[in-house]
Every structure is written in C-alpha cells, then in structure tokens.
C-alpha cells in the first residue's frame, strides 16, 4: 500500500473591505476552493480590516468579500511565492431594478455589531439649518450646550465624514456650519479605535465615534451653499456664509466661511488644549501656561447667543484629508476666527460673610476683540501589516484686546485695558509596532511650547490710594509666562487569553517661567508686587494597566501609576513621589445595560500660580497670592454609572454618581473690604463633593412623542476663612430638574416643548442665600405646504418673581425643484430690553442686569449647489 505525504503550510491573508474609501464593518470575507467550498471565513472590523489565517494544501484559491446592500466581489489569490498576502476590496452598491423603479435597503435604524446606522430623514422636523440641529434629534446622540457631542453616553473621540477625519477635536466647525440637507445617515461607532495596530491586537475599546454619511449626489462633485442675508432693527443686521465641499476617493475637502453680527461667536467653535491618558491606547499631552488678569467679557449664559450677545463674528476654515499613497494619508487644517464683542451690564454683588454683608455695584461697559488662528498637519502611515505611524503638528496664535469702563458703587470711575497674545506649538508623534499577534509597542514622543504675553492697564483712584500713589496715576501689570516641555512614553501592550496588560514609562522634562510685575508710571512700587519664578521639572511616571475579562459581561481593570519628580523652583529643590492607583469594574448586558464602578486615589502637582508668594491682580480690586510649594494635591474619588441605550425603540437611561473627598486641597484665606479682596491660597484638609445626574429618554409610538427627563444634583462643602480668625465650612447646593418633549405627528403641525426648575443655595456661618430660576419653552413648526414652513419659538423665564418672555418667528420658503430657498426671521418680537440674572457663587450672590439684543428683522436667501 503506497503512502502519500502532503505538505500543509500556514497561510495568512489580510486587507480592507471598503466602499468609496470608507471601511465596511461586519462584511463577510471567505476563502473558497475552486469548487466554491468554504475553507475559512471571517468578518471585517469597523474600519473594514480583516485577517484570515488557515492551512491549505493548494497554492491558488479564491477570496470573496460581500456585505448587505453591496455587490459580491471575488478575487483569485496565489500563495506560490509567499505565505502572507494583502488583498483589498472596494465594493459597489447593489440595486434591484423592477419596471424602472430602484429598490434600496431603507430602514430608520440598522444595527450591525458595533455600528448603529440612523437614516436622518426620519427624525427631521424641517426646521434644521445645520448638521448640529439634526444630531440633536437623533436617538443615542446628545449635543451639549457648548456643542460637544456625546454618543451612547460618552463624548465622541472623532467625527468622521465618509470614514475620514477632517478636523480632529475641532469637529464643531463642521457640525455648526455644514448645511443640514447634505446629511443622509449618521453612524454611531462603538468599540472605536483609530489606531489599526491597536485594533488588531486589543480588538475591544471603550471609545465611541460618529461617521457622517452624506447624500449620494454630493459625492465626486463640488457641492456647497451660499447664504446671504440682511435686515433692520436698531442696527443693521447681516449674515453671509459660504460652504464648499468635495468628497472623492483620494481627497476630501471642506471650506467654511461665515461673517455675521447675529450673536453667533466664531471663537466658540475652537477647542482648547487636550489632555488624555488612555489605559490601553494613545495618550495626548498638551500643557499650557496661565495668565492672571481678567480679559473675558461677562456674559449671560441663560439665553441663546442671538438673544444676549452683541458680537461681530468672522470665521474661515479650510480642511482636507488626502491619500498620497495607498498607505499614506495627510490631513491638513487651517482656520481663522475673530470676534468683536461689546456688552453692557449692571452687576450687584453681595458678600454673605457676617451680620452685615458687604455689597458693591458695578456699571460695566465692556469691549473685546479676540482672534484665534491655527494650522494643523497630521500624517498617518500604515504599511498594512505590522507598523503604524502618526504625527500631529499644531501651531496656534491668539491675540486679544479687552477694555472695560465701569462705575464703581455709582461714584468711582474705573478703567481697565488688557492687550495680549498667546502662541502655542504642540507636536505628537506615535509609532506603533506589532511585535507578535498579541503584543505591540507604542512609542509616544511629544513636545510643547506655550507663551502668554499680556499688559493690563488700570486707572483706579481706589487702587492708587491703597498703593499711596497720586489719584491720577495709572498702573500696569505685565505678564510674560512660558512653558516648554518634551516627553517620551514607550508603552508595551500585550494580550493573552482573558488578560490584557499595558506597561509604560513616561519621561518628561519641563520648564515654566512666570514674570509678573505691577508697575506705576510715576513711582516705584514695593518688591512685594513682583513675581519672578522658574519651575524646572524632571519627571518619571511608571504606569501599569491590567485588565482581566472574567467573561463577555464582566471585566476588572486596575491602574497603578507612580510619579517621581525632581523639581527646582527658583533655587529651592524638591523631590516629589506619588502613588496614584485606580480600579474599574465593568458589567455589561444587552438587556439591562452597562454598569461601571470605579475608585481612584489622586496625587497631583499644583498649578504654578499657587507658588507665587507675592500679590498679583486678578482685576481692578482683587489681589491673589500663593504660598510656595507645600505638598501635593490629594483626593479620593468613587464613581458609579449606568447606561442603557435601545436606539431602535428610542429609549435611553443614563445615571452617574460620584463622590470626591479632598484630603489636601487649596482653599482660600480671604479678607474682603468694601474696596478690595485679598485672597491667599492655603493647602490644607479639603472638603467633599457629591454629584448625581440622571436622564431618561423615551419614545411613545402611539403618541409619536419623544420625552426626556433629566436632573442634576450637586452638593459641595469646603473650609474657607472669610474675615475670621479660623476656618468655617461653606455649604453649596444646586439642583436642576428638566422635562422636554418633541413630537413627530403625521399632520403638518409639530411641537418642541420643555420646562425646567433650578434651585441654588449657599450657607456660610449664619447666612443662607437662595435662588430660583424657572424656565419654559414651547416651539411649534407648521408645514403649510411642500414649500412653506413656519416656526414660532417661545421662551419664558421666572427669576425671583420677575417674568420675561421671548418670541422669535421665522418663515422658510423652499420652492420645489429649486436650488434657492428663502427665510424671514423676526428676532425678539416682544422687544425685551434687559434681563436680570441671579447667581449664587460660594459666599457671594450676584444680581446682574444684562442688555438684550433689540428686535430685528432678517431676510436671507440660500443657494445650494
């Protein structure tokens, strides 16, 4: 009997399955014999990546890629020359034609593993102007008041357009400016990981992202819109904007421009520095220095900008993402934002510190000019196998001016003028190398530079008298503050069975300088008003992250972080050692949601401002100083959260509770007089804080009504010393309750309504101060015809028995089969002229009367192409 010897070799094939350069998640990839028998198969990850390892006794096979709604694609593969192959697929959409009718897959919400796809047309009311307006209506997505987006209870890591990132953390530029009509679908990407090597090895992630799918007729062509409008009120009103986009396979580009004086602020769309420490991912470390003198306008945050902000805004942004080679991508962004703002207000402040509270008043006339400009260049290179490189360079400049003329206690004239500029450079370099199938090494090299130069000029007879200067003298406070740092953090991550581990050592060298002086034009002041400080640090942070997955539902994560820092503050040397452990328990099921319980001990280095031993000015009447280095800030935190999302039923329940105990914290030793306040920062036993938030969203199908109930509760107590010889406990409480609803009736009339109640209380010694704010809104939109939509917005406020009502009206006319649309807006129909806001802030209560934007009419037209 003859014997035959067959030689079997292990073969591996990997690659991407995409549509129009966007990865398909959950697609099927099969290895087939010549007789079409399945030899092996797998499914693609969220970025479209797949990998199959198998044994075969033949060198030529077939590889098939398919996904619902797309044409199947088959390629022949040959292992004659090598055992590892890279094969990419680019699928085409599949349609069925019956009697010239095109049938496509159409469903409001589709869930495929970690991707939730939402068809947005089912959730539009017709009043949406921008993508942000659309996102506010979608299940599983929350847009906060500042424009930050959360999906499935978490802040999003990225906002992608057709699978590509264009603006990184500044995604608000896109959501606030791109026309709502271009959006077709929104995908919530759970288990998101942008780094493909980490995705291969770790396979799971706690991150979430959004991917915007645009209308098919917007692809491979130039598209956009031009918006032009003008109107009259007390002042001339205008809004001009231009949007231009191009989405092609190898390049995606957006230009966004806007110029208006309707209250919309340009600089609010730009994010500040970012700091994140990922347990199993890429870090992002960006340090900035400080400026001390106030240069921001006091604003009323109770209303939308169009009701209370007097501003002229100019904004330009250009962003592109292009593929230079199959594996090399470059993202570049440049933006320029400028706001010229003026605000008038009357503020009355009461310090509740004894039997006879101190009360002051200010009539403020404030003016500011703020500019933000930046350029970003990000390079990504992935060889498709074992290495990934990413480098991000950010350059910013922020010149600003601030002027404030005020009348103090209805008698003293005081002038403040601030001129300054902030210059920033950040560079982040990550190189990730896959060492084995279960091990990777990520090397993070980062550099940062931030410089603030500021000159503040103060004309104050009160201040001159206190410093023994002539009444006509003028003071100047100059600041030149800089931080320079460089760091290296290699991280070894490996996974074996149910265990994941990441071990890292972070080396960082930094130098921060503070040069702050108070000068007089006609006299020499004491050295006690000069601060010159240099803080040099060499720090090593040893970090180990350990995760054990008991099963698919339960996991335990432990983080051990040990800091060793050798510091030199001027001529004084310090050695800092701190242990910072953290533990997280996760439990997740489809039926009852995800539970997270965490506990951490934090030991942090203080800010440099707490080391300034001499007084500096925070405004024309507030002196502050620290007491040099006196130890680490220490606190313990216990938190619990629960999230349950059912996007198909439009149901979500989200609850968060946290308790923080400050073992060592900076508190204030304050001396307050009718003319000045003197604040001394002291490190001592701190206070406690409790926070609770809960939100319930539910859809009543028969009523076609979505409702949301939310509550925030915050309790805080801390030791403070206010014109007393000893520390006393300050107790603060804030509670908010809100209920809102949105209808989706089949008939042309729909409503958006809500009520809220906010209660604040502050207790110090025998003084208790309370405030109540009640708010209600009801907005209705009526579709009078296929071309005509009417919207009426009503807001009502009750502040300490003072009642205010605001009404805005708009008519939108969109002719059928026309690229033009028109809009008439009447803002503040009732012409409310001012608003009184009461705010409880620690031991002070502030009553501020703001001037409001008077009634105006605006007629605008939009041309879409």
Question: CATH code at 182?
Answer: 2.170.130.10
Instruction: Tell me if the pTM is above 0.75.
Output: yes
Q: Are strands 820-827 and 73-78 parallel, antiparallel or unpaired?
A: unpaired
Pair (74, 123) in one structural domain:
no
Pair (211, 129) in one structural domain:
yes
DSSP letter assigned to residue 716: E
| Chain Cα centroid distance, residue 757 | 26
Tens-place pLDDT, residues 556-593: 999 999 999 999 999 889 898 999 999 999 999 888 99
Mean pLDDT on 440-454: 97
Report how far residue 347's alpha carbon sits from residue 445's, in angstroms, rounded to the nearest whole number. Answer: 48
Pair (40, 119) in one structural domain:
no
Asked if 486 contacts 444 with a C-beta cutoff of 8 angstroms, the reply is no
Give the chain's mean pLDDT. 89
Tens-place pLDDT, residues 606-657: 888 888 889 999 999 999 998 877 788 999 999 999 999 999 889 999 999 9
CB burial of residue 102 (10 Å; 0-12, 13-18, 19+): exposed
DSSP letter assigned to residue 465: H
| Structural domain count of the chain | 2
Tens-place pLDDT, residues 109-120: 988 888 999 999
Give the domain-ending residue among 57, 76, 96. 96
Mean pLDDT on 394-401: 97
Is residue 679 one of the residues assigned to a domain? Answer: no
Pair (86, 145) in one structural domain:
no
Q: What is residue 280's predicted lDDT score, i.e. its pLDDT? A: 86
Ramachandran angles phi, psi of 197, nearest 5°: -70, -45
Report how far residue 88's alpha carbon sits from residue 86's, in angstroms, rounded to the nearest whole number. Answer: 7
Asked if 696 contacts 711 with a C-beta cutoff of 8 angstroms, the reply is no
Q: Which residue has the tokens 């003198």?
A: 293
CATH number reported for the structural domain that contains residue 45 in this entry: 2.60.40.10
Tens-place pLDDT, residues 33-43: 877 777 777 88
Tens-place pLDDT, residues 66-94: 887 688 889 888 877 677 888 888 888 76
Give the domain-ending residue among 69, 96, 123. 96
pLDDT score of 9 more than 70:
no
Q: What is residue 523's predicted lDDT score, i.e. its pLDDT? A: 77
Model confidence band, residue 14 (pLDDT cutoffs 50, 70, 90): confident
Neighbouring CB atoms inside 10 A of 447's CB total 15
Q: Six-digit token pair at 393?
A: 């360079």
Asked if 735 contacts 711 with a C-beta cutoff of 8 angstroms, the reply is yes
Is residue 139 one of the residues assigned to a domain? Answer: yes
Which residues does residue 847 pair with via DSSP β-bridges, in sequence order? 348, 838
**Rg (the chain; Cα; Å):** 30
Q: Write 123-129 long-range contacts (CB < 8 A, 24+).
A: 123/744, 124/180, 125/742, 125/744, 125/750, 125/752, 125/781, 126/781, 126/783, 126/789, 126/812, 127/781, 127/789, 127/791, 127/812, 128/180, 129/179, 129/180
Pair (91, 195) in one structural domain:
no
Is residue 176 one of the residues assigned to a domain? Answer: yes
Asked if 115 contacts 187 with a C-beta cutoff of 8 angstroms, the reply is yes
Pair (91, 143) in one structural domain:
no
Pair (146, 179) in one structural domain:
yes
Map residue 243 onto helix, strand or coil.
Answer: strand
Pair (62, 140) in one structural domain:
no
Evaluate the CA torsion angle 376, 252, 151, 25 in order and state its sign: negative
Which residues does residue 777 pair with via DSSP β-bridges, in sequence order? 754, 795
Asked if 750 contacts 762 with a C-beta cutoff of 8 angstroms, the reply is no
Which residues does residue 261 pair with via DSSP β-bridges, in sequence order? none
Q: Which residue has the tokens 């000045």?
A: 676
Report how far residue 650's alpha carbon sits from residue 542's, in angstroms, rounded to the nearest whole number. Answer: 44
Q: What is residue 801's predicted lDDT score, i.e. its pLDDT? A: 81
Asked if 775 contacts 794 with a C-beta cutoff of 8 angstroms, the reply is no
Report how far residue 734's alpha carbon sits from residue 83's, in angstroms, rounded to the nearest whole number. Answer: 65
Q: What percent of the chain has pLDDT over 90?
A: 61
Q: Six-digit token pair at 157?
A: 């890591």
Tens-place pLDDT, residues 152-204: 999 999 999 999 999 999 999 999 999 999 999 999 999 999 999 998 888 78
Is residue 184 one of the residues assigned to a domain? Answer: yes
pLDDT score of 48 more than 50:
yes
Q: What is residue 6's predicted lDDT score, i.e. its pLDDT? A: 35
Pair (118, 216) in one structural domain:
yes
Give the domain-ending residue among 223, 255, 288. 223
Pair (127, 63) in one structural domain:
no
Is residue 157 one of the residues assigned to a domain? Answer: yes
Name the residue range of residue 168's domain. Answer: 106-223
Is residue 494 one of the residues assigned to a domain? Answer: no
pLDDT score of 744 more than 80:
yes
Is residue 218 one of the residues assigned to a domain? Answer: yes
Pair (28, 52) in one structural domain:
yes
Pair (82, 145) in one structural domain:
no
Q: What is residue 81's predicted lDDT score, i.e. its pLDDT? A: 67
Tens-place pLDDT, residues 483-532: 999 999 999 999 988 899 999 999 999 999 999 999 887 777 777 789 99
Length of the chain: 865
Is residue 552 one of the residues assigned to a domain? Answer: no
Model confidence band, residue 352 (pLDDT cutoffs 50, 70, 90): confident
């Amino acid at each position: 009997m003859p014997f035959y010897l067959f030689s079997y070799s292990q073969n591996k094939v990997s690659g991407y399955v995409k549509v129009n350069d966007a990865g398909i998640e959950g697609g099927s990839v099969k290895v087939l014999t010549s007789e079409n028998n399945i030899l092996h198969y797998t499914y693609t990850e969220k970025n479209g990546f797949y990998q199959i390892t198998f044994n075969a006794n033949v060198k030529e096979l077939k590889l098939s890629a398919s996904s619902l709604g797309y044409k199947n694609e088959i390629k022949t593969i040959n292992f004659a020359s090598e055992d590892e192959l890279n094969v990419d697929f680019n699928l085409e959409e599949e349609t069925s034609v019956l009697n010239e009718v095109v049938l496509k897959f159409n469903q409001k919400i589709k869930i495929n593993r970690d991707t939730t796809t939402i068809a947005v047309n089912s959730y539009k009311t017709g009043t949406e102007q921008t993508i942000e307006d659309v996102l506010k209506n979608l299940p599983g997505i929350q847009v906060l008041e500042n424009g930050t987006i959360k999906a499935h209870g978490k802040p999003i890591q990225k906002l992608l357009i057709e699978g590509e990132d264009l603006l990184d953390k500044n995604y608000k530029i896109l959501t606030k400016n791109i026309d709502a009509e271009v959006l077709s679908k929104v995908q919530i990407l759970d288990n998101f990981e942008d780094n493909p090597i980490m995705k291969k090895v770790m396979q799971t992630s706690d991150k979430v992202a959004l991917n915007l799918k645009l209308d098919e007729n917007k692809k491979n062509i130039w598209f956009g819109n031009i918006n032009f409008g003008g109107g009259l009120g007390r002042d001339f009103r205008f809004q001009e904007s231009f949007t231009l986009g191009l989405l092609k396979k190898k390049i995606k580009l957006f230009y966004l421009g806007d110029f208006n004086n309707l209250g919309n602020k340009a600089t609010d769309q730009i994010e500040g520095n970012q700091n994140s420490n990922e347990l199993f991912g890429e870090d992002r470390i960006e340090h900035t220095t400080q400026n001390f003198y106030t240069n921001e306008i006091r604003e009323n945050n109770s209303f939308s900008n169009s009701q209370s902000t007097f501003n002229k805004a100019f904004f330009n942004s250009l962003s592109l993402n292009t593929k230079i080679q199959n594996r090399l991508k470059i993202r570049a962004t440049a933006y320029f934002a400028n706001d010229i703002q003026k605000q008038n207000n009357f503020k009355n402040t009461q310090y509740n510190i004894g039997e006879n509270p101190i009360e002051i008043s200010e009539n403020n006339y404030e003016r500011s000019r703020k500019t933000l400009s930046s350029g970003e260049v990000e390079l990504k290179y992935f060889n498709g196998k074992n290495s990934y490189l990413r480098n991000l360079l950010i350059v910013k400049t922020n010149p600003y001016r601030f002027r404030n003329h005020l009348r103090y206690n209805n008698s003293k004239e005081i002038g403040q003028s601030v001129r300054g500029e902030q210059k920033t450079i950040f560079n982040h370099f990550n190189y990730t190398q896959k060492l084995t199938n279960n091990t990777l090494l990520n090397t993070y090299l980062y550099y940062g530079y931030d410089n603030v130069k500021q000159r503040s000029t103060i004309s104050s007879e009160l201040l001159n008298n206190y410093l023994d200067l002539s009444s006509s003298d003028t003071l100047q406070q100059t600041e030149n503050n800089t931080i320079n740092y460089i760091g290296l953090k290699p991280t070894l991550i490996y996974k074996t069975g149910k265990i994941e581990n990441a071990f890292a050592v972070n080396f960082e060298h930094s130098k921060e300088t503070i040069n702050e002086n108070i000068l007089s034009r006609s006299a020499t002041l004491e050295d006690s008003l000069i601060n010159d400080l240099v803080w040099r640090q060499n720090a090593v942070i040893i970090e180990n992250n350990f995760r054990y997955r008991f099963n698919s539902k339960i996991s335990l994560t432990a983080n051990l972080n040990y800091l060793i820092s050798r510091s030199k503050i001027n001529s004084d040397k310090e050695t800092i050692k701190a242990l910072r452990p953290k533990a997280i328990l996760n439990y997740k099921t489809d039926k009852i949601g995800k539970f997270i319980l965490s506990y951490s001990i934090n030991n942090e280095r203080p800010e440099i401002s707490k080391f300034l031993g001499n007084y500096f000015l925070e405004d024309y009447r507030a002196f502050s100083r620290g007491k040099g280095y006196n130890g680490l800030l220490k606190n313990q935190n216990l938190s619990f959260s629960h999230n349950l999302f059912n996007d198909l039923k439009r149901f979500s329940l989200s609850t968060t509770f946290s308790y923080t105990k400050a073992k060592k914290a900076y508190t204030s030793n304050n001396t307050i007089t009718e003319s000045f306040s003197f604040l001394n920062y002291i490190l001592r036993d701190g206070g406690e804080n409790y926070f609770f938030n809960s939100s319930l969203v539910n859809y009543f199908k028969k009523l076609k009504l979505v409702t949301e109930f939310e509550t925030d509760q915050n309790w805080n107590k801390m030791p403070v010393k206010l014109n007393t010889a000893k520390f006393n406990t300050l107790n603060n409480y804030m509670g908010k309750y809100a209920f809102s609803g949105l209808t989706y009736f089949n008939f042309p009339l729909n409503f958006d309504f809500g009520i809220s109640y906010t209660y604040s209380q502050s207790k110090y010694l025998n003084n208790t101060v309370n405030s109540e704010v009640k708010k209600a809104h009801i907005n209705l939109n009526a579709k009078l015809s296929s071309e005509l939509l009417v919207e009426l917005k009503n807001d009502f406020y009750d502040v300490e028995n003072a009642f205010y009502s605001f009404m805005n009206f708009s008519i939108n006319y969109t002719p059928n089969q026309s690229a033009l649309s028109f809009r008439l807006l009447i803002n503040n129909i009732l012409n409310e002229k001012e608003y009184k806001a009461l705010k409880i802030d620690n031991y002070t209560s502030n009553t501020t009367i703001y001037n409001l934007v008077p009634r105006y009419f605006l007629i605008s037209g939009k041309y879409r192409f």
